[in-house]
Amino acid sequence: MGLPAIEVSDLSKRYVIEHESRHDTLRDTLHHTARKLWRRFRWGTGFQREEFWALRDINFAVQPGEVLGIIGRNGAGKSTLLKILSRITEPTTGKITLRGRVASLLEVGTGFHPDLTGRENIYLNGAILGMRRAEIRRKFDEIVAFAEVEKFLDTPVKRYSSGMYVRLAFAVAAHLESEILIVDEVLAVGDAQFQQKCLSKIQDVASGNGRTVLLVSHNLATIRQLCGTSAYLREGRLKAILPTTEGLAAYLEDNQAGLGSFHPIHGDGVSLLDLQLRDIRHGKPTQTAIFGADYELRFTLGQGHPGLRITPWIRICDSSGVLVSSICGPEEGLDFQPAERTTTFVVSLPHIGLMPGRYNLSVQVYSLAPRPHLDAANALSIEIVPSNIGQAIRAYRAAHGLVRVCGNVHIEAASSAT
Buried b / exposed e along 309-342 (16+ C-beta atoms within 10 A) = ebbbbbbbbbeeeeebeebebeeeeeeeeebeee
Pick the closer one to other proteins by CB: 68 or 374: 68
Pick the closer one to other proteins by CB: 210 or 338: 210
Binding other proteins (rule: CB under 8 A), the pick from 74, 93, 245, 344 is 93
124 lies in the site for other proteins, by CB under 8 A: yes
84 lies in the site for other proteins, by CB under 8 A: yes
State the DSSP code for 220.
H
Do the beta carbons of residue 14 and residue 53 sit within 8 Å?
yes
Binding other proteins (rule: CB under 8 A), the pick from 5, 215, 308, 395 is 5
Q: Is 123 helix (H, G, I), strand (E, B) or coil?
A: helix
Binding other proteins (rule: CB under 8 A), the pick from 73, 99, 239, 298 is 99
User: Torsion angle of alpha carbons 354, 359, 360, 366, nearest 10°?
Assistant: -20
311 lies in the site for other proteins, by CB under 8 A: no
Stretch that binds other proteins, among 118-126, 244-252, 362-370, 388-396 (CB under 8 A): 118-126
- Applying the rule CB under 8 A, the residues between 154 and 173 that interact with other proteins are 156
228 lies in the site for other proteins, by CB under 8 A: yes
- Which x/- pattern, by CB under 8 A, does the window 26-65 give for other proteins? -----------x--x---x------------------xxx
Binding other proteins (rule: CB under 8 A), the pick from 29, 161, 196, 209 is 209
Q: Cα 262 to the chain's mean position, in Å?
A: 26
Measured between alpha carbons, how far is 232 from 73 in angstroms, rounded to an integer? 9
Q: How far is CA 220 from CA 11, 71, 104, 313, 351, in A?
A: 25, 8, 21, 35, 20
379: left (phi over 0), alpha (psi -120 to 50) or beta: alpha
128 lies in the site for other proteins, by CB under 8 A: yes
Smallest distance from other proteins to CB 81, Å: 12
Do the beta carbons of residue 118 and residue 154 sit within 8 Å?
yes
Instruction: Outline where DSSP puts E strands in 158-283.
Output: 180-184, 212-216, 229-234, 237-243, 265-266, 270-279
Stretch that binds other proteins, among 122-130, 138-146, 189-197, 401-409 (CB under 8 A): 122-130
Binding other proteins (rule: CB under 8 A), the pick from 106, 220, 265, 273 is 106
83 lies in the site for other proteins, by CB under 8 A: yes
Measured between alpha carbons, how far is 96 from 33 in angstroms, rounded to an integer? 40
* Footprint of other proteins (CB under 8 A): 1-3, 5, 15, 37, 40, 44, 63-66, 83-102, 104, 106-107, 110-111, 113, 115-116, 120, 123-124, 127-130, 132-133, 156, 179, 209-211, 228-229
